[in-house]
Amino acid sequence: MEQEPAKSNSAITQAIQALLDRRSVPERKRLVALEAAAGIAYQQVRRRMMGETPWSAEEIKRVAAHFGEPLFGLLGALVEEQPGEPAVLCVAGTRTPCTIWPGPRAEQGFGPYVALAAESPGDAWTVVTATEATGRDAYEVRRLVVEMEQPRRVAVIDDDDDLGRAIVQFLRQKGLDAISYTTAEHLRTALETTSFDGYILDWVLSDGRAEELLPLIRAKNPHGPVIILTGQIDGEAQESDLATAMAAFRAQLYEKPSRALSLYNALELGFEAMPRA
């Protein structure tokens, strides 16, 4: 009985490794990427990947959200020997992302759905009706999971960890997938492997200023809402820098302390003006 938790943790770690393989995250950057994704310390990530301590359900959820992966693709490792694989379910002209566990080659008459292998490594499988796959090389579908539409993902960057987590907690209660970062470097690492629908940034960070991140943010997401938080504005130079950033990168300015509800409403207004990816 004592071996079951270790076995489950090993399966989850393998599923996370497979996720990183699909995302082409270099080996040397994997622990740093997971540090940003899970929101835990580097050494904690290392212990989990080494199998010394277990992953929590909340950490697994954060990793899945960070990389835009179906949550069941990772949690499924608890009930399957192998993690599921990304696929697209094609029915009645619609294409729905899903996770499947493909089986052996499908015999004639197997159905109702079969899977067509990805054309290139890293691409998703295609799930169609058995009739549509007639004459094609198809595989059985042992399990298929379709998740609900993913919530909007928001990055909150503030070197005041307590404040950042308070904002994140409120946004999550409102149904957003908010993730907290405390340094500009953490966000840069996160942006290498994931994308966000909106951003809340403290203007002054321990390792720089928000204006240094704005070009990178807008390169990844030209239309999403960007909110800058600032304390008391100190001098004409800072006021000029803020005005330039707001105009050049279409950012909104909120002075601290700002109510979390006001920030949420600003995000929602921004989301209404942008298409869902």
Sequence ranges of the domains in the chain: 3-78, 85-145, 153-272
Residue 104 corresponds to which tokens in the numbers above?
A: 């052996």
In the structure, how many helices (H) and strands (E) does the chain have? 10, 12
CA distance 130 to 114: 6
**Amino acid at the residue 234:** D
pLDDT of residue 225: 95
Structure tokens at 26: 């270099």
What whole-number distance in Å separates Cα of residue 254 and Cα of residue 225?
A: 13
Per-residue pLDDT of the chain (277 residues; tens, 9 = 90+): 333 445 556 778 888 888 888 888 888 889 988 988 888 888 999 999 998 888 888 888 888 878 877 676 666 655 555 667 888 898 888 888 888 888 898 887 677 889 998 777 667 899 999 888 887 889 999 888 876 667 888 999 998 888 988 999 999 989 898 988 888 888 888 888 788 999 999 988 888 788 889 999 999 999 999 999 987 666 555 788 888 888 999 999 998 888 999 999 999 999 987 765 4
| Phi, psi torsion values for 24, nearest 5 degrees | 55, 40
Cα–Cα–Cα angle for 183, 186, 192, nearest 5°? 145
For domain 153-272, the CATH architecture is 3-Layer(aba) Sandwich (3.40)
89-125 in b/e burial notation, b at 16+ Cβ within 10 A?
bbeeeeeebbbbbbeeebeeebeebbbbeeeeeeebb
* pLDDT attached to residue 3: 39
> Model pTM?
0.57
Dist CA 83 CA 255 (whole Å): 45
- Cα-Cα end-to-end distance for the chain: 45
Peptide bond before 257: cis, by omega within 30 degrees of 0?
A: yes
Half-sphere exposure (Cβ direction) of 8: Cα atoms closer than 13 Å: 15
Please, what sign has the CA dihedral across residues 11, 14, 18, 19? Answer: positive
- Out of 1.20.1250.20, 3.40.1190.20, 1.10.260.40, 3.40.190.290, select the CATH number for domain 3-78: 1.10.260.40
